[in-house]
Structure formats: structure tokens, C-alpha cells
Amino acid sequence: MIKIQNIEEYYDLLKQLKETCGRFITNSYLSVAELERYIKLDRLYCLKQEFGFVFLCDEEKYYRLLYWLKAGSTLSISSSEKPIAVRTIYRENNKREELVSLEEELQRRGFQKEYSAFEMCVPLEAKDNISRQNKVFLRMLQKGKFYIADMRPEDIDKMHVLREDKDFHIYNFPYKTQDEYFHEIANNQYISVFNENDEMCACIYTDILESYVTGDGICVEDKYKGTYGLGAALMCHVLNMALNEQDKRYVSWCETENHNSIKFHNSIGFVNTGKVSDEWILK
Amino acid sequence: MDNLIKYNQIFMDSFSLKEEELEGNPTMEAVELWDSVGHVNLVATVEDTFGIEMTIEEMSDFVSYAKGLDILRGYGIEI
């Protein structure tokens, strides 16, 4: 396993692949900025394969594997000191032959499918409905003396605790430095619900992309779950921000076995987009 | 009478209930779809339909079909 030192090295490897392998498959859609970030943090590694490369992004608790392989080629990888996660994304009922073959290869190498998720979105057409819901939710929050505001830097530790909830997989959370958290907080990307004592009770991470807004699952402190509707209120607040302030649809992923989450997403106006992702793990 | 038809329709649409089920005074506790999101949708639809804005107390009290009728009558709506 070699550590990638600079972006040129990365692109040289891909150039080699294109020259020698012809048609290849990949699950890597990292931007140059994202790649440079991993390199700068000393967290991007490469494993040479017979016909291609796999790159491992060190996410602290696990490795995220990105492959660039000749279609139908074998994979040479063994378990490591931490789990290795491979995410494959495809259209429901339309998995390409190359992907089926890759998944068979992953299974031969000891990977197991940990969970699947499907993409859901709230389209722009729902903006009026979301706006109406949001106004009512805000009044409901007032009743319990809760309020919504940007997360504060001192809440980062509590957010990590909330993310340890059984409903979340570690593979949903990439590694971030403390400075990156501070930067995102300053950029208003974490939104929270606070109680009357200014204690954070729930939070969500959001990211405004060019054509849509996305975010993580909502974390709610156990003692507030299912009683005050904090998660729904927070989700509605974020949807209202996306649809009515940013004029963008909101996109999120929902695990196929998490029936409560599916019910929640459907009730608030999410619709299935038909995109599925499988998380394969080698422990 | 028209108002009652509108109110009943909101309940039937919101919670997938049949008209005859409304006679049993469905409650938040008994109706599966009447959770926090369902409640907010119900309040928002009732407010829009009848041109009112419930107080926080009224929103909290609105835990059954019959309670909703009382709240609307409190706004002078003939129902």
C-alpha cells in the first residue's frame, strides 16, 4: 500500500490504467479538491491491482475504497486493521453486468453487504406544502420552549455522541478534522434544536450543492425522541431552507431496512428517486 | 354543513380513514398515521381550509376529531 503524495501521482496512475486496460469501471467521483484534501491530510493510499488500482481513503474508523478496475477483473485485497467499505450505486432493478460481476468478486474476497439505502428527494413542487408545515412546526417548538439555531463549536462533542446511535452506521460519517468542523459550523452547515436551557437536543449536517441540498440523518437525543417531534421539525426547517430559500430540491438516503425512517421520510414528503446504494464491508 | 364535509374530508385524506370511522371520534392515540408529522399536516390543512391560525394551546388540545370541531366553533365557524 503506497501513500499518494500529490495529485499528479494520482493522475499518472489513472493515465497508466487508461493506456493499458481500455474500458474500466469506477465508483470514484471525488473532485480534485476532495482528492487534494485527502492527500494533504496524508489519508489517501493506493493498492496496485493486476488490472487497475484501488484507492483507500482513511476515514479514521474505516477505509473507504474507491476502485478503478478493468471490467471483469479480479480484486486483490485482504482485511486490514480497520474495516474497508465499498459503496456501489445503481438504478433500482437495473444493475449493470460489470457491477454484478464486481459484487461477486467482492464476496469472493470476504466482503459482506452491510446494508442498502435508497435515494429519496423532496422536489421543488413541494415548496408550498413544506412552508406551511414549517410554520406549524415552529409554533409546536415554541410550545415546548425549543428553538432552532446554528450549532455552536462547543456542541461538536455532543454531536459525536448522538451519532453513535444504533440507527447510524459509522460508514455514513467521513473523517473530518476539528478545524474542518469549525469551518463548517462557521459556514452554517450544522443546524440544531436547543431547549430552553440552550442545550442541544438534535442536529443535522447540511450541504448546499450546485443543483440540490443534501444532508445526514437527523440525530436526536434519546430523551427527546418520539415525544416533541424535534426530528420532524428540524427536517422541515432544513427542507424549507433548501426549497424556499435556496430554490433547490433536497436529496437524502434512507436505509431499506429502517422502516421507521422510511415512514418518517414519506410522511414529510420525500419520494423515491430509484437510485440504490449498497455498502459492502470487509472486516 | 359544507364545513363539516370539508373537515371530514381532511381527516379522511390525512389519516386514510373511512367516513363511518369518524363517528367513533378518532383520536391521536388511536390513529396510527396521527404522529407528529401527521399532526402538523392536519393543523396546517385545517388552518388553510378554514382561514384560521390556531394558538399553541389549541394545537396541543387538538388530539381528537371532536376537539377539532370545538376549536373551529371557537372561531365562529358553523360546523
Contact (Cβ atoms closer than 8 angstroms) between residue A94 and residue A33: no
Question: Per the domain annotation, does A283 fall within a domain?
Answer: no
- Which of A54-58, A167-171, A217-221 holds the top average pLDDT? A54-58
Helix residue ranges per DSSP H, chain A: 7-21, 32-40, 97-108, 127-143, 156-163, 178-186, 230-240, 259-268
* Grid cell locating A97: 453486468
- Say whether both A135 and A272 belong to one domain: yes
Whether residue A86 has pLDDT greater than 90: yes
Q: Which positions in chain B touch A233 (Cβ < 8 Å)? A: 36
- Say whether both A195 and A222 belong to one domain: yes
- Say whether both A106 and A23 belong to one domain: yes
- Per-residue pLDDT band for A45 (boundaries 50, 70, 90) equals very high
Whether residue A36 has pLDDT greater than 70: yes
- Say whether both A65 and A162 belong to one domain: no
- DSSP 8-state code for residue B23: G
* Residue B1: per-residue pLDDT: 59
Q: How far, in Å, CA of A148 to CA of A239, rounded?
A: 13
- Say whether both A149 and A46 belong to one domain: no
Q: To the nearest whole number, what is the mean pLDDT of chain B?
A: 92
Between strands A249-255 and A212-215, the pairing is parallel
CB contact under 8 A, B56 and A143: yes
- Say whether both A161 and A88 belong to one domain: no
Contact (Cβ atoms closer than 8 angstroms) between residue A147 and residue A236: no
- Say whether both A204 and A243 belong to one domain: yes
State the total domains in chain A.
2
- Say whether both A92 and A229 belong to one domain: no
Q: Name the more confident of B23 and B57.
A: B23
Of B57, B59, B32, nearest in space to B44 by CA = B59
The average pLDDT across B36-49 equals 90
CB contact under 8 A, B48 and A132: yes
Question: Per the domain annotation, does A190 fall within a domain?
Answer: yes
Size of interface A-B (CB pairs under 8 A): 43
Nearest CA in chain B to A269: B37
Q: Which positions in chain A touch B33 (Cβ < 8 Å)? A: 267
- Chain B residues 2-31 with a CB less than 8 Å from chain A: none
pTM: 0.87
Give A183's Cβ-side CA count (13 Å radius).
6
Q: Which domain holds residue A198?
A: 120-276
CB contact under 8 A, B37 and A136: no
How large is the angle between the packed helices B36-50 and B2-15, nearest 10 degrees? Answer: 160
CATH value at residue A258 = 3.40.630.30
Query: Which residue in A142, A232, A268 is closest to B56 by CB distance?
Result: A142
pLDDT in tens, B1-21: 599 999 999 999 999 999 999
Which of A135, A136, A142, A143 should be substituted to probe chain B, the one whose Cβ sees the most B Cβ atoms within 10 Å?
A: A136
Nearest CA in chain A to B41: A133
Q: Does A132 touch chain B (CB under 8 A)?
A: yes
Q: To the nearest whole number, what is the mean pLDDT of chain A?
A: 93
pLDDT in tens, A116-145: 999 999 999 999 999 999 999 998 898 889
pLDDT in tens, A228-274: 889 999 999 999 999 999 999 999 999 999 888 898 899 889 999 99
Q: Which positions in chain A touch B47 (Cβ < 8 Å)? A: 132, 136
- Per-residue pLDDT band for A166 (boundaries 50, 70, 90) equals confident
pLDDT in tens, A208-241: 999 999 998 899 999 988 778 899 999 999 999 9
- Say whether both A73 and A96 belong to one domain: yes
Looking at A51, A84, A110, the residue that finishes a domain is A110
Q: Which positions in chain A touch B43 (Cβ < 8 Å)? A: 136
Give B59 to chain A, closest Cα distance, Å.
8
Question: Bridge partners of A204?
Answer: A191
* Residue A260: per-residue pLDDT: 85
- Per-residue pLDDT band for A175 (boundaries 50, 70, 90) equals very high
Give the ipTM of the model, two decimals please.
Answer: 0.73
Q: How far is CA A277 from CA A147, A209, B20, B54, in A?
A: 34, 20, 43, 43
CB pairs under 8 A, 24+ apart, for A141-145? Answer: A141/A193, A141/A228, A141/A230, A141/A233, A142/B56, A143/B56, A143/B59, A143/B60, A144/A195, A144/A228, A145/A195, A145/A196
Nearest CA in chain B to A227: B36
- A165-169, A203-207, A230-234: least confidently modelled range: A165-169
CB contact under 8 A, B41 and A264: no
Query: Which residue in B33, B40, B60 is closest to A136 by CB distance?
Result: B40
- Say whether both A55 and A186 belong to one domain: no
Q: How far is CA A13 from CA A4, A35, A40, A54, A281, in A?
A: 10, 14, 18, 10, 25
